[in-house]
Amino acid sequence: MKVLLLYPEFPDTFWSFKHALKFVRKRASLPPLGLLTVAAMLPETWEKRLVDLNVRRLRERDIAWADCVFVSAMAVQRGAAQRLIERCRRAGKRVVAGGPLFTAEPEAFPEPDHLILGEAEAALPQFLADLGRGQARRVYTSSEFPELHGTPVPLWHLVDMRRYATMSLQYSRGCPFNCDFCNVTALLGHRPRTKSAAQVIAELDALHAAGWRGGVLFVDDNLIGNKRRLKDELLPALIAWRQSHTISGFLTETSINLADDDELMALMVQAGFTTVFVGIETPDAAGLAACSKNQNEHRDLVADVKRIQRAGLQVQGGFIVGFDTDTPSIFERQIAFIQQSGIVTAMVGLLEALPGTRLFERLKREGRVRGTTSGDNVDGTTNIVPRMSLETLREGYRRILRHIYSPKHYYQRVKTFLREYRPPKLKGRVTMADLRAFGRSIVRLGILGRERFHYWKLLAWTLLRRRDQLHMAITLAIYGHHFRKVCELHIL
């Protein structure tokens, strides 16, 4: 059997980093980890090829080679996935589709020959067995949330790592919290399930053996869902591994209660974590209560963010406007919070109702769901009828983005962050790629960019006050260029 694994294009979004990647000559931020893992679950005797359409085009001869095509996608890739499936079907190929998009909306995709819904560890084996007997059904699904002890090391040889800015790895699935707008628990459950430390080290060994020395994103929706196992098993193993291996650092996502645990933050930094994404959502107490974001309630969220920053971790933040409890004052409150906290990478979106969430079910009963979401939570669109007038909501949203990503306020926020940030001394060296990115930033931002005054002011301030953070300052300046481009092209 010859299997072609296909990953559709991402649109130009906040998290695509498309405009920032040009500075480092990369095609995409991350490889398709799910498909690489599924590839490792397929029979060893099958021939496998992977085409990520974010880094190269799909040729007719690629499709002609295959006996069967596997497609995986997220909601934001919906349109590209649809086009890809139609192209493969026209070529007469058997199409197998799976992943978050198809699991959440299977009825929207009648075209694939087979749908593998839910986690591959639970649904894929039966499909492969039936396929081998020539009796494969159209839909395979499982309500089971499988343990991860049998999940294999992804087949990294199927991708060209040189085309990506960061590699990825998954330690856990599931989240213990119950935010009503989030579909993580609908897809992956409340009980955090983890791989063993030995499995994670085996995946890192495979990346290292393949020559990777850059950053690695732990794609977990909440890395600290099982704190005890993280402290006792994984972090000590990572600390030991890094004694003899070089990786530029780890990134991940956690809940805000990370700020409550000094020991955990210290261990994460020692293990090589540099950045955490945290769902802040809103500084409004009524909004947090309304969406069941209980872990964020009754806190000084700005102080929590700064505590994490001082521990040596950059905080990236997610924010939402459009909760039923929001009034027009929320827009200025969000701006004030983002600026005061020094969250440089601030992802602000309109509230959307995702299939499978409690929010979706409630708003559907109220007749307030209007179509599907775009899957891009920072494109200024929503599929709900908000309590606030839609015109007021959209204009307030645009006002937030105009403010926080204007050069003046963005660069102010970088300095606010750098004043708090106390990073560890990490192994690594300045590479030619770093120097080339710096040179391009001088030309595009310092000479040609409308932010040039703020760019040079930041560099001078950093050299005087935070010399050891020059690399971080330049990186964040480049990120700001990307965020402004996305806002200007697609939202403002």
Which letter does DSSP use for residue 360 in this model? H
pLDDT value of position 426: 59
How far apart are alpha carbons 23 and 20 in whole angstroms?
6
What is the percent of the chain with per-residue pLDDT over 70, rounded to a whole number?
99
pLDDT at 76 over 60: yes
pLDDT value of position 428: 59
Over residues 182-194, mean pLDDT: 94
What distances in angstroms separate CA 32 from CA 7, 28, 36, one per listed residue?
A: 7, 10, 6
How far apart are alpha carbons 398 and 394 in whole angstroms?
6
Query: By CB neighbour count within 10 A (0-12 exposed, 13-18 middle, 19+ buried), where does 249 fall?
Result: buried
pLDDT at 238 over 60: yes
How far apart are alpha carbons 88 and 66 in whole angstroms?
10
How far apart are alpha carbons 115 and 108 in whole angstroms?
11
Close Cβ partners of 260 (under 8 Å, ≥ 6 residues apart): none
Degrees (nearest 5) of the Cα angle 396, 254, 316? 45
pLDDT value of position 151: 98
Over residues 131-150, mean pLDDT: 95
pLDDT at 198 over 60: yes
How far apart are alpha carbons 487 and 492 in whole angstroms?
6
How far apart are alpha carbons 305 and 433 in whole angstroms?
31
Close Cβ partners of 187 (under 8 Å, ≥ 6 residues apart): 100, 103, 104, 118, 356
Degrees (nearest 5) of the Cα angle 6, 9, 14? 140
Q: What is the pLDDT of residues 95-135, one digit of tens each?
A: 999 999 999 999 999 999 999 999 999 999 999 999 999 99
3-state secondary structure 85-127: HHHHHHCCCEEEEECHHHHHCHHHCCCCCEEECCCHHHHHHHH
Q: What is the pLDDT of residues 289-322, one digit of tens each?
A: 999 999 999 999 999 999 999 999 999 999 999 9
DSSP for 376-413, written as a single string: -TTSS--SB--SS-HHHHHHHHHHHHHHHTSHHHHHHH
Q: Cα–chain-centroid distance for residue 179?
A: 18
pLDDT category of residue 283 using cuts at 50, 70 and 90: very high
List phi, psi (to 5°) of 170.
-120, 130
pLDDT category of residue 352 using cuts at 50, 70 and 90: very high
Beta bridge partners, 72, equal 98
pLDDT at 429 over 80: no
pLDDT at 142 over 90: no
pLDDT category of residue 143 using cuts at 50, 70 and 90: confident
